[in-house]
Amino acid sequence: MITDTIKEPTLKEHIDRVGIEFYSRWKKVMLQDVVSKLGDGLHGTPEYDLNGEYYFINGNNLIDGKIVIKENTQRVTENEYLRYKKELNDRTILLGINGTIGNVALYNGEKCILGKSACYFNVIDSVSKDYIKYVIIDKTFQSYIENFANGSTIMNVSLKVIREYAFSLPPIKEQNSIASILNSLDEKIDLLHRQNKTLEQLAETLFRQWFVEEAEESWEEKSLYDVIELIGGGTPKTEVAEYWDGNIQWLSCGDIASNHKSFLMSSEKAITDIGLQNSSTRLLPKFSMAITARGTVGKYCLLSEPMAFSQSNYGIKPKYEGCYFFTYLLVAHV
């Protein structure tokens, strides 16, 4: 007599089953389902006042999850604020939707009114605001709004597109757990950035002391161009598909500007070996520098791996072997 034996599930099968059960409790929603209000700012220009207490905020003021007031940020009076204010509160998330697309910030009671390039939405109480923040920071959402953006010169994303973004929403307990973990990682990243900034300032101070203030009279004086090689870039033809989406990072001005005075780890676009060979772009070695030459001019960074770059930038290599970090500090000093 043959009897059936019960086969114990493998570890992988058990994990897969638990995963299916876990994710089955996540429901599919659209962004409009989890917000009480979604709108954009003023489609026009308020009356500015240099002595005003309120700031006119646009998408370019939304940086790394915070509203950042810049030197050129315009001010308005309380009367203008009362005329154009929106329903912003401690459940509000801000998103850049015109020109500067995809920037995200949490509203923390700042005295401001919004321009049309800033969208706002108020997350309902039953949903974690931090979880929704990470939903819209995620590359899936960022790619979604980039694909639906339109405009001949200034790209714009409609409120309809944002409202209809669909994603998976776990129960509130999982939302809070996920957001807590990601917040913890963000705090550690922020700490490392601040530590790096301190170390960079120390390095610049030592460089100035050793090679400028205490420079010996016997040292030979040269120009910057005597010790660096300035290299032009290029762009493979965008209509040739086989030139793109390869494994060679290709830098635009935006990639460099957003990583100013730091290591650049990756770029928005990549090219293939064929694209590199059939264009005027050049491949810079690891630890070289790239600097912007158009748009936001003069932003620079170090490369964490060999990368190519557009004609709107220059590559910088030392003429003396191995002097990459010295070259970086020299450029930073001048």
Q: How many domains does the chain have?
A: 2
Q: Which of 172, 192, 210 is the last residue of a domain?
A: 172
The answer to whether residues 33 and 139 belong to one domain is yes
Flag whether 246 is in a domain.
yes
Q: Is residue 217 part of a domain?
A: no
Is 309 contained in some domain?
yes
Residues 132 and 260 in one domain: no
* Mean pLDDT value of segment 48-74: 92
Do 153 and 83 reside in the same domain of the chain?
yes
Task: Say if residue 28 is in the same domain as residue 167.
Answer: yes
Structure confidence at residue 17 (pLDDT):
53
**Domain check: are 48 and 154 in the same one?**
yes
**What domain range is 269 assigned to?**
226-333
232 shares its domain with 129:
no
Which residues, in sequence order, are CB contacts of 252 under 8 Å at separation 6+? 267, 268, 269, 309, 310, 312, 313
Radius of gyration of the chain (CA): 25
Model confidence at 333, pLDDT cuts 50, 70, 90, reads confident
**CB burial readout 145-176, b (16+ within 10 A) else e:** beebbeeeeebebeeebbeebebebbeeebbe
pLDDT value at 104 more than 80: yes
The larger pLDDT score, comparing residue 198 to residue 81, is at 81
Whether 163 and 38 share a structural domain: yes
Tens digit of pLDDT for each residue in 234-258? Answer: 999 999 999 999 999 999 988 898 8
Encode pLDDT of 171-219 as tens digits.
Answer: 999 999 999 998 898 888 888 878 878 888 888 888 888 888 888 888 8
* Domain assignment present for 320: yes
Same domain, 24 and 128: yes
Greater pLDDT, 25 or 206? 206
Q: pLDDT value at position 286?
A: 93
98: in domain: yes
Q: Based on the domain organization, do 166 and 245 belong to the same domain? A: no
Q: Phi and psi of 106, rounded to 5°?
A: -95, 140
Residue 12 lies in a domain: no
Specify the CATH number for the domain of residue 156: 3.90.220.20
- At 148-160, the pLDDT tens digits run 988 877 888 999 9
Higher pLDDT, 9 or 186: 186
Residues 160, 237 within the same domain: no
Co-location of 168 and 259 in the same domain: no
- Residues 137 and 245 placed together within one structural domain of the fold: no
> Percent of the chain at pLDDT above 70?
93
pLDDT at residue 1, rounded to an integer: 39
User: Is 241 within the bounds of a domain?
Assistant: yes
* Confidence category of residue 7, pLDDT binned at 50, 70, 90: low
Contact 176, 109 (CB under 8 A): no
Last residue of a domain, one of 172, 188, 216: 172
Does the residue 66 lie in any domain?
Answer: yes
What is d(CA 129, CA 159) in angstroms, rounded to the nearest whole number? 19
Q: For residue 275, count CB atoms less than 10 angstroms from its CB and return exposed for 0-12, middle for 13-18, buried for 19 or more.
A: buried
Q: Report the C-alpha dihedral over residues 279, 280, 286, 287, rounded to 10 degrees.
A: -150
Average pLDDT value for residue range 53-61:
93
Given pLDDT bands bounded at 50, 70 and 90, which one contains residue 26? confident
The percent of residues above 90 in pLDDT, for the chain, comes to 59
**Tens of pLDDT, residues 283-309:** 999 999 999 998 778 899 999 999 999
pLDDT score recorded for residue 103: 92
pLDDT of 20 > 60? The answer is: no
The DSSP H or E segment spanning 112 is strand 112-114
Residue finishing a domain among 135, 150, 172:
172
